[in-house]
Structure 1
């Protein structure tokens, strides 16, 4: 059986189309966000914490993110966890109110 140049080109383009379609559908999927499943019991030094996120699903937890980017999940009802949240909230800079631009005096 002989393949003509047109047949080879059609097979080639079908292969390219199939690969790009599969690659595009896999790449377009959204990666899941980090979530807490296991909760740590060890108390952390709040000076090393950068921020936190509250989570309700699959478990109720507070995810602390350290200055190095390490994520650690804790039970939200622990007293030191609540104190750490208050500490981080106080440390968070409050946005400055935008001042109105000064209007130029009208020349007479």
Structure 2
């Protein structure tokens, strides 16, 4: 039995995927049509993305965006590095540790690079 090739989500693939999701939502659909999104993503990228992988990637993106949005809109007193776009916060701060725990560790990456395509 051959193992399926792991697809790399490049910035171009992410941007294309997000555009397809926006098109679906802007067309008045109440749910994402994962079959169509996957088909169009494969056609545009020339790769074979599995439907389940696309759905899982969306879920991961949504979780990261929710954490980023909370950090940007609800946290006061955080400085932001103008060059990198990352928050300037002490990773040992107890409030930050609680935020990381709440969002299952995802926001720790925000200290190194901002959320792309926000």
- Judge same fold: TM > 0.5, yes or no: no
- Flag the structure with higher helix content: 2
- Flag the structure with higher strand content: 1
Q: TM-score, normalised by structure 2?
A: 0.24
Larger Rg: 1
Q: TM-score, normalised by structure 1?
A: 0.26
